[in-house]
């Protein structure tokens, strides 16, 4: 089992968490009581984010919902920093520690009673002709979808440089196994266990084109090309959309980085939590 260096811990708090700053400081005090260093700040605190990006910490504790975990993953994964999420949202597909049990989780962490789960991530690149306009790390999904016009997109998909198929759909999702329980699940896709290392390709509202999900191998390179001449966008993990033009390409591959999550439950936790969450059907009004 990988062992974390807990000498310095950062706590990232979503700004919408009630009493978030206070709870963050309570966690810092509890960590310091064990003779370890800790600092707390807001999720968008640029100074603290800069320190995390400079690898001053090996562990980041997040207070928020699944969206907070995604944002922390974008920040931490490229630097090999592990994430311990505490659920202050409603859903918590990625989170096993409840808001009222962070003290118990912290004690287990200090005692070494944890394991690290590595979640596959994707890399998405935006190309226009021979110019690369952007690159992103992806925890859940990269989505190429229609813009403001209520018209389906024409998208071609190629696999490892060879034509695969053409879609007429509202959107096309390229998801990780982690993302299979996010937008892809809402679009009718299969649930993949987080230990898999595959890319899930799934159309949203396809019209007279292939309507099934395709599970691709880890080494696959997927290129999604916009064939429509009306508005299209690229969205990474639900963040602000990037405008796409006709003939723009989004190239998706498996990232060299992984999201490392601190876990305390046995490895079979995923299905137990999944069934519980789906049975509860929690409110969509969550802190993300």
- Return the sign of the alpha-carbon dihedral for residues 156, 153, 186, 69: positive
The question of whether 66 is a catalytic residue gets the answer: yes
Residue 104 and residue 83 in contact, taking contact as beta carbons nearer than 8 Å = no
Where do the H-state alpha helices sit in the chain? 20-32, 46-53, 66-76, 102-110, 183-186, 269-280
Percentage helix, strand, coil, to 5, in the chain? 25, 40, 40
The residue from 5, 45, 66, 170 that is catalytic is 66
Nearest residue to 40 (alpha-carbon basis) of 68, 63, 58, 71: 63
CA distance 9 to 58: 7
CA distance 179 to 259: 12
Q: What token pair was written down for 80?
A: 């090999």
Q: Show which residues are catalytic.
A: 66
């Amino acid at each position: 089992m990988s062992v974390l260096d807990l000498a310095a811990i950062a706590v990232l708090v979503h700004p919408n968490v009630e009493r978030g700053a206070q709870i963050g400081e309570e966690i810092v005090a509890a960590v310091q009581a064990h003779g370890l260093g800790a600092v707390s700040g807001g999720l968008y605190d640029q100074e603290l984010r800069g320190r995390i990006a400079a690898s001053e910490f090996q562990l980041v504790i997040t207070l928020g919902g699944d969206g907070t975990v995604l944002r922390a993953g974008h920040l931490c994964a490229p630097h090999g920093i592990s994430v311990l999420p505490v659920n202050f949202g409603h859903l918590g597909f990625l989170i096993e520690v409840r808001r009222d049990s962070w003290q118990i989780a912290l004690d287990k962490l200090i005692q070494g009673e944890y394991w690290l789960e590595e979640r596959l991530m994707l890399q998405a690149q935006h190309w226009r002709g021979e110019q690369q306009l952007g690159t992103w790390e992806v925890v859940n999904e990269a989505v190429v979808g229609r813009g403001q016009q209520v018209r389906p997109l024409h998208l071609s998909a190629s696999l490892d440089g060879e034509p695969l198929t053409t879609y007429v759909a509202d959107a096309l999702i390229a998801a990780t196994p982690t993302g299979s329980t996010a937008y892809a699940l809402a679009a009718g896709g299969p649930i993949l266990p987080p230990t898999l290392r595959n890319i899930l390709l799934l159309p949203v509202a396809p019209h007279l084109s292939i309507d099934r999900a395709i599970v691709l191998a880890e080494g696959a390179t997927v290129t999604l090309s916009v064939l429509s001449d009306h508005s299209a966008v690229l969205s990474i993990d639900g963040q602000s959309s990037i405008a796409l033009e006709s003939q723009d390409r989004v190239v998706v591959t498996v990232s060299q980085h992984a999201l490392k999550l601190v876990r305390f439950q046995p490895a079979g936790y995923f299905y137990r939590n999944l069934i519980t969450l789906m049975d509860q059907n929690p409110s969509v009004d969550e802190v993300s």
